[in-house]
Amino acid sequence: MSDDRSYPEVRDAVARLCTDYPDEYWRDKDHDKAYPEEFVQALTDAGYLSVLIPEEYGGAGMDLAAACAVLEEIQRSGANGAACHAQMYIMGSLLRHGSEAQKQKYLPDIASGNLRLQAFGVTEPSSGTDTTRIKTRAQRDGDDYVISGQKVFISRVEYSDLLLLLVRTTPRDEVDKPTRGMSVLLVDLREAVGNGLTVRPLETMLNHATTELFFDQLRVPAENLIGEEGKGFGYILDGMNAERILIAAECIGDARWFVDRASSYARDREVFGASIGKNQGIQFPIARAHVQTEAAALMVDKACGMFDAGLACGSEANMAKLLAADASWAAADMCLQTHGGYGFTVEYDIERKFRETRLYQVAPISTNLILSNIATHVLGLPKSF
């Protein structure tokens, strides 16, 4: 591999760390639907989950390109960074919009690994992608907010100390724009669970530690409000470019893993007295997946470069996410086909990664919503909703 890679020393070190967590480790976690605690702890101890936290708060103070390098290499090794990637982008809301007191209180402990900020609560059963229709309500009562409502698909709550939560503080029909009247609260899960917050695991096709949350008069100190009341939607949007670019980097890692696995299997597997990779019907789909991946990687680099330069990059982040998720999904399908029946067996790990990378067609934003954004915001087509 050429060394025009960004942060080659970070990539090499992450790849080395990942060798301690081989395929069998992930296979067992997947089978048991268990959280990869050891892996997350090792990444935390090595400082990789705090690369984006500024040095003054105990982090490495690096840019998004460094965080992308970390996540891409994790996926490329066959691991699943979804166990911990959220900390990288959730922390940005606290950093950009939190008060100095909040940053001093939380960021050094997050950087050192004493506290985990891994959970991000936006999605609700009745609102879906239409975030302005969320119903979880926080009402001010003295020095507290009192929260009631429900969230769904909220990942890693059971393995996090803190939850960044989007709530309605003013009903939708009482604000001049639907995006107003929402607020972001930092919920201390150690105090909340069992005292107004019930967490119910949700079984899904992949090991993602996702849950349903039920809030029943949960009291959260008003001092845990991030930024100004009513402006929370903007804060969440603000963090989405970083989230999309980081997830896109993960997809590139997945796609490269699928291309590597397919190439090596196609070289070794002999049928009809020759390696199956000799057949262009096998080698062309692998080559196509490689080409698609490398093209998507250029878009991820572009979006990331713009983000790090402080430029507006909403469209580029969306395009990077769409292209990278499509590349990883196409590579997954190709890799399964290349492996024939063995692709479906658990011991080859293809079916596990296939399930894992499928998620990125839907979350954190679905392909349709990206296309809609590009159509209306970039191309000036009329909005359908």
Q: At closest approach, how far in Å is the CB of 355 from ligand FAD?
A: 10
Q: At closest approach, how far in Å is the CB of 116 from ligand FAD?
A: 14
Taking the least distance from each CB to ligand FAD, the nearer of 212 and 308 is 212
C-alpha span between 354 and 258 (Å, rounded)? 9
Q: Which residue is nearest to ligand FAD (CB)?
A: 128
Q: At closest approach, how far in Å is the CB of 287 from ligand FAD?
A: 30
Q: Could you tell me which of 82, 71, 86, 47 has the C-alpha nearest to residue 256?
A: 71
Q: At closest approach, how far in Å is the CB of 276 from ligand FAD?
A: 33
Nearest-Å Rg of the Cα atoms of the chain is 21
CB-CB neighbours of 130 under 10 Å: 12
C-alpha span between 379 and 385 (Å, rounded)? 16
| Residues near ligand FAD, by CB under 6 A | 120-123, 128-129, 153-155, 204, 208, 210, 359, 362-366, 368-369, 372, 384-385
Residue 251 sits at the vertex; the CA angle it makes with 185 and 363, to the nearest 5 degrees, is 40
Answer whether 248's CB lies under 8 Å from 303's CB: yes
Q: At closest approach, how far in Å is the CB of 127 from ligand FAD?
A: 7
Taking the least distance from each CB to ligand FAD, the nearer of 13 and 202 is 202
Taking the least distance from each CB to ligand FAD, the nearer of 102 and 210 is 210
Q: At closest approach, how far in Å is the CB of 294 from ligand FAD?
A: 27
Q: At closest approach, how far in Å is the CB of 117 from ligand FAD?
A: 12
Taking the least distance from each CB to ligand FAD, the nearer of 61 and 314 is 314
Taking the least distance from each CB to ligand FAD, the nearer of 150 and 337 is 150
Answer whether 162's CB lies under 8 Å from 106's CB: yes
Taking the least distance from each CB to ligand FAD, the nearer of 192 and 359 is 359
| 29, two tokens | 């976690």
Query: What are the DSSP calls for 56-114, one per residue?
Result: GGTS----HHHHHHHHHHHHHTT--GGGTTHHHHHHHHHHHHS-HHHHHHHHHHHHHTS
What one-letter code names the amino acid at 49?
L
C-alpha span between 258 and 207 (Å, rounded)? 19
7: left (phi over 0), alpha (psi -120 to 50) or beta: left
Taking the least distance from each CB to ligand FAD, the nearer of 272 and 385 is 385
